Structure 1
């Protein structure tokens, strides 16, 4: 029952229409955060501020979907963007029937394309991308804690299993003297960085402290 209540509670953050999210649902969700202290008054203020921001932005600049996509692309790059486009179009048969009806109607060149009015395109967005965009640059510490807690919960154990697969190749018979901290550090880099080998090399050249650690024997 506790797990059921938890999953029902955190499901509100999967909602991309933020105006539908109610304060009481956010408050219930915050009750499951036991390892951090969340100020409810601050959370209330943060939530209402972000909700107002969403309502203000959702119809501007080409819609909230375009804003979120631009934000994610500017931070991750197009190759790492995992947005989803969902096109809801009429079927080919419906198009044929519509075209037959249009043939019977005298439509001038000045009138809009009636057929295109029957096609709808809905750009869907990921809820974690939306919250990242809304919280970017905002001082909302209480809400940020709650959002971090919710999206840190994995949907399955697939990610954990993939970590063990990567560890098998890092901690092999030729590297048995590695300490746990080193294995953990390598896994964190491997699983969380988006840098190529060349980019990581260039980055390390700008970090003398890390280079000194690499040259030392502390890593073993």
Structure 2
């Protein structure tokens, strides 16, 4: 009888309710996500599990946590990384067009190529990384083969590729034999997404040679002057604040300098007023905010002729153009500010509010920042397109916003890799580096939001609890 009681007790202790198993799996997935987002090592995560068991000794979930290095790595590589990458690809396939961005960097004895994409999603411009490839061959043929195979493996239509966002080197964008020329053989209308940051840098570098003074030395002297004193830095900040205020007052008072005033005085009054009005309008619309009301049909036609977008019905496009301008006027006349309308639209499009509170991980841009009262043009366009039936105009807007203006996003991937591959984490495999980059760059959920998301996703819970996440076990089978 005593033996039966013991056996009964053992069976009772090992049987866990389904809800409790789900909470344990969600906690393990969240802790791995938290560690990746904040740059913790897997040894640190293993130590955190032991600390949680000690501190929360009365918690059944904490006591049953089991997430050491092997399991944490498997969850990152085979559960979280594929999940966020698949969400990115699902959004991409809903868009008509996308651009491919890549670059190469040496990390130790490896040559790594992060391949990223840019496209217009339901909530605005979105960027993400598809894969990280380790290949020592930097020839145009090999890079093209890797990129082309990457598109095929992920089910992406190569005819939706609008541009290559790359560094301005001959192997990438040369006219005779380059990655761009090889892609152009398959997609004749593909564009060069030249990195304008590199172009500006190269222009300044060559311009230095003809200047009578050494600009680089002057800049170094200025930096040295301010970097040595916190007081000087504070005075410089105050100067910039004064300059911005002075600039605003100049616009309000319509004073642009004595020389400008004397020149205007020689012109007729109507000419003076016209020039002042047009200049202030230019500053207001171009520098501060892009106003859709300033968009003309002639500009739309110029875009179509230059981009050569196939399948556009220009007759229908004109009707859509007038409807969109009318809709913009309608929402502008409402009592609710446009910025609030846009933010409400973005929140509605997301199943979970995408406010990333992992502040110590540097984001590429403020895509999901709701603190500032500003209107992003891409999000405003998606709001207008959702309110009007405009398939042709949406195609045009998707094409335009898929074009990269720089290669900064790929450079940010290298910055993330710099934190991943530190001296203390030098033994990470390329597969693990790729997984952590995908989690960092493709996910927009905070750590607390992810816990709720995992609990609501049966597929993620099943994957975390399953032994299939272990690569070595799958190979044995």
**CA drift at 1:70:** 4.6
Q: Structure 2 residue aligned with 1:174, among 411, 423, 427?
A: 427
Alignment of 1:59 with 2:333, yes or no, is yes
Is the 2:454–2:460 contact (alpha carbons within 8 Å) kept by the matching residues of 1?
yes
Higher relative contact order (CA 8 A, sep 6+): 2
Residue 412 of structure 2: which of 157, 162, 167 is its match? Answer: 162
Q: Check 1:170–1:39 CA distance in 2 against 1; reply closer, same or farther (3 A cut).
A: farther
Q: Answer yes or no: is the 8 Å Cα contact 2:354–2:444 preserved in 1.
A: no
1:26 to 1:68, Cα distance in 2 relative to 1, 3 A: same
Superposition deviation, residue 189 in structure 1:
4.0
> What is the Cα deviation at residue 21 of structure 1?
0.9
Aligned position for 1:50? 324
User: Displacement of 1:134 after TM fit?
Assistant: 1.6
Give the secondary structure class of the aligned counterpart of 2:324: helix
Structure 1, residues 114-133: CA drift from partner, whole Å, max 9, x if none?
xxxxxxxxxx6332232132
Q: Tell me the secondary structure at the aligned position of residue 404 of structure 2.
A: coil
Q: Is the contact between residue 18 and residue 51 of structure 1 (CA under 8 Å) also seen in structure 2?
A: yes
Offset from partner CA, 1:140-185 (integer Å, 9 cap, x none): 2222222222223333322220022224555764331518xx92x6
Q: 1:200 to 1:73 in 2, by over 3 A?
A: closer
State how far apart, in whole Å, the 2-side matches of 1:138 and 1:186 are.
39
Cα distance between partner residues in 1 of 2:316 and 2:420: 44
1:65–1:178 CA distance, 2 compared to 1 (3 A)? closer
- 1:80 equivalent to 2:369? Answer yes
- Secondary structure, counterpart of 1:202 in structure 2: helix
Cross-structure match for 1:30: 304
Tell me, yes or no, if the aligned pair for 2:328 and 2:384 is still in contact at 8 Å: yes
Match of 1:135 in 2: 385
Q: CA deviation at 1:80?
A: 1.7
Question: What is the CA–CA distance in structure 2 between the aligned matches of 1:32 and 1:148, rounded to whole Å?
Answer: 15
Go from structure 1 to structure 2 and tell me whether the alpha carbon gap of 1:66 and 1:209 turns closer, same or farther (over 3 Å shift). closer
More strand by share: 2
Correspondence 1:152 to 2:402? yes
**Partners of 2:354 and 2:455 in 1: CA distance:** 23
CA distance in 2, matches of 1:216, 1:81: 36
Root-mean-square deviation over aligned CA pairs: 4.1
Aligned length: 170
Q: CA deviation at 1:191?
A: 2.0
Q: Which moved more, 1:59-68 or 1:32-41?
A: 32-41
SS in 1 for 2:431: coil
Unaligned runs of 5+ in 1: 85-123
